[in-house]
A and B are shown apart, each in its own frame.
Chain A
Amino acid sequence: MLDVKGLARLVGGGAEEGAKIQRQMTLPWGDAFRISLRNVTIRLGRAFITASGIVLGIAFLSSVWTGAVIQEGLERSERAHLEELAQATAVGGADEKSTQDLIAAAEQARKSRASRQAWLVVMSLLVCGVGITNAMLMSVTERFQEIGTMKCLGALDNFIVRLFLIEAALLGVLGSLLGALLGHMAMLGIFAIRERTFSVAAKMDWSQMLFYLVIAVLIGTVLSLIAAIAPAIRAARMRPAVALQSEI
């Protein structure tokens, strides 16, 4: 009665197909990507709410970095101006000491701001992490039924995880791209208003800025992947009966 080998018979059952082919259970990456993309595009409103955690967090991060790059650009031009002034005064033999003081003071201010900025970056990453984790948790929980159904149709646990990770990566890339741009433009706008000129944009180091934006998008994507792993695995491991029964 206890017939473990019985399944082999079941599995090898298809007379025309070999047992190997019959044993196969697959979810090709192409199909997985198509399904995940569909989940994002069709539930665009829902996807946007999920992504809003990412957008906000990365916008914060990107604004902090944009501020830093602008500030640096401004200081660089100011320092160049001061050094010019110092040279001029040195030639004139006048108050050399006070311009040197000014340069030193500016350096001091830059250092203290750098440490404050590090804190801001850490804070923004925290905001980002919490927002994304929450969003991913919700997007998984509200689809328990669907996960249960897929498992009834023969999905292995790792198919479910795969679908959610692809979706998280898509949301991560799109959300953090949007967030990075928003934060960047907001900060640029704020500085332009404060300095009453758009020359802030001309003074900043654009290659460095681009580097920061890319890093911000990377961070957003990686964070959303990390945040999705735990709930996705937990959901995938649920017994189908439990997943099917859960009400939203």
Chain B
Amino acid sequence: MAKVKCPECGEEIETTGIITVCPGCNADMRHVMEEVGHERAERMKTIARDDSVTTHEFIVRTRDLRKIYVMGEVEVPALRDVDLDVRRGEYLSIMGPSGSGKSTLFNMIGGLDKPTGGRCFIEEVDMAQLDAFELAWLRCRKIGYIFQTFNLIPVMTALENVTLPMIFAGMGTDEMMDRGRELLELVGLDDRLDHKPYELSGGQQQRVAVARALANAPAIILADEPTGNLDLQTGKEIIDLLKELNQESGVTVISATHDLKMIDVSDRIVHIRDGEVERIEHRADLKLEIGTLGSEIEDAE
């Protein structure tokens, strides 16, 4: 999000950089937006950072990943032998109906839960081999999480929420504050640093969450229905923000979603159903088959 001023009527507009005309006077805003875009692109480049010495082609891989929830006598298979390779720098969406296992997959990839069977690799490291400390390290520095319910710490201000992972990472106070401010500025919340979550709108809270996910310059952003609790416009802003990050800084974005707006920005879409990968679509294919996409939207709605 950026604030721009219309050169014609002087109106202040808050935008992700997608508008082309001023909503006030219909003046052409394209060159202004281009400028803003360039400026942000430069800053975005360093905000997330993939600093692995070795650069494997696949940043996340799962092999025969299986998760069975046991509830008393009943066994609920939530994931059945999922094989998934996620390329470095990819924007991947995981789509599927409710209960298909999206959140379960999110938890496995994020090291938030243990699979019943199979393996999950991050940078070719088998997560099952990591001890508690290494897992915490991974969660702190390699992965940034975004949740449907925002999950900000309610007693902390926006800035404190963003700097909390930096405390865990042992960053110095000054550096931490500077980076926290910069991140919040990048998501367009520089005037909300000291606001508590309940003083922010849903979209603003989610933007704080995006800034927090970027706290320690992760290589992967994992998002579980990041737009699920937001209205259309606000959801679009978050998606644009994620896409911008993905494009400018090369951070890998993996997002579980019902949201068809995600289709436009995704490099690949993994459809899962009943815990199995049903099919994988590439954006390149999608563009060729607009007809298929149309019918799919009808299916989903």
Contacts and interface: CB of A to CB of B under 8 A. Distances in A.
Given A153-B139, A240-B107, 19 more contacts: A2-B129, A3-B125, A9-B52, A10-B123, A11-B137, A15-B53, A38-B155, A42-B155, A145-B151, A149-B153, A152-B145, A152-B151, A153-B140, A153-B168, A154-B169, A155-B136, A157-B132, A240-B112, A241-B113
A241 B165 contact: no
Contact of A244 (B147, B154, B167, B168): B147
Contacts of A28: 167
Interface residues on B, range: 35 or more
A156 interface: yes
B121 interface: yes
Nearest to A14: B51
Max count, chain B CB within 10 A of own CB: residue among A1, A9, A149, A239: A149
5 contacts: A7-B138, A9-B53, A11-B134, A151-B139, A153-B215
B130 interface: yes
B294 interface: no
A114 interface: no
A151 B153 CA distance: 12
Contact of B113 (A38, A150, A159, A240): A240
Nearest to A6: B125
A146 B133 contact: no
Interface string B140-157: 111001010001111110
Interface residues of A, number: 45
Interface string B162-179: 001101111000000000
B101 interface: no
Interface in A51-97: none
A248 interface: no
A15 B217 CA distance: 14
B88 interface: no
A27 interface: yes
